[in-house]
């Protein structure tokens, strides 16, 4: 009996270590979607960047083979007018997250390599200051989509 208990504890501790390692991997992306616009107009990508690690991370670049240009922007509104500001780097706090959402941060996507197919997915690859990269699969949605994806 005693030795069985010891084995059970060993299994439980092993499982806990696997979970801890997955979190130590650091940063991941969630709920990525792209609002598809006609090729003559930029499309916009939205996602949530989650940092599960103990260290702050800085997002330094977003790239995709699906578009000729991918840029990080922030929308700033002053009453009736709104402008877009370039974002070079974006800090993601330890155990925190940053949301790209309509009227805030967005990924401006220009020059689609192929016509955007609603219902399909395209990858966005995020680069961080520690050299790590995370690829998100982003759902292509119609221009009428306004809110955050619930998927």
The least distance separating Cu ion from the CB of residue 144, rounded to whole angstroms, comes to 19
C-beta separation of 83 from 124 below 8 A: no
- Residue owning tokens 């996507």: 109
Residue linked to tokens 């989509």: 145
- Give the span between the Cα atoms of 69 and 143, in whole angstroms: 19
84 forms part of the interface with Cu ion (CB under 5 A): yes
Scanning 8-16, 58-66, 76-84, 113-121 for contacts with Cu ion by CB under 5 A, the matching segment is: 76-84
Q: Which pairs with CB-CB distance under 8 Å and at least 24 residues apart come from 11-14? A: none
**How many residues bind to Cu ion according to rule CB under 5 A?**
3
Q: Give the range of 11-19, 46-54, 81-89, 118-126 binding Cu ion by CB under 5 A.
A: 81-89
With tokens 């689609």, the residue in question is 112
Q: Which stretch binds Cu ion (CB under 5 A): 54-62, 102-110, 113-121, 123-131?
A: 102-110
- Binding-site ranges for Cu ion (CB under 5 A): 73, 84, 108
């Amino acid at each position: 009996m005693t030795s069985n208990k010891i084995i059970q504890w060993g299994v439980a501790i092993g499982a806990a270590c696997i979970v801890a390692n997955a979190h130590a991997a650091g940063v991941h992306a969630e709920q990525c979607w792209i609002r598809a616009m006609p090729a003559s107009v930029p499309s916009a990508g939205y996602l949530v960047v989650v940092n599960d690690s103990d260290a702050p991370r800085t997002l330094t670049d977003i790239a995709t083979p699906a578009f000729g240009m991918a840029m990080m922007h922030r929308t700033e509104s002053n009453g009736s007018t709104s402008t877009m500001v370039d974002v070079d780097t974006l800090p993601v706090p330890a155990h925190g997250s940053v949301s790209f959402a309509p009227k805030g941060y967005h990924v401006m996507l220009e020059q689609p390599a192929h016509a955007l197919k609603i219902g399909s997915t395209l990858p966005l690859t995020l680069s961080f200051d520690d050299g790590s990269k995370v690829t998100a699969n982003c759902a292509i949605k119609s221009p009428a989509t306004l809110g955050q994806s619930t998927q």
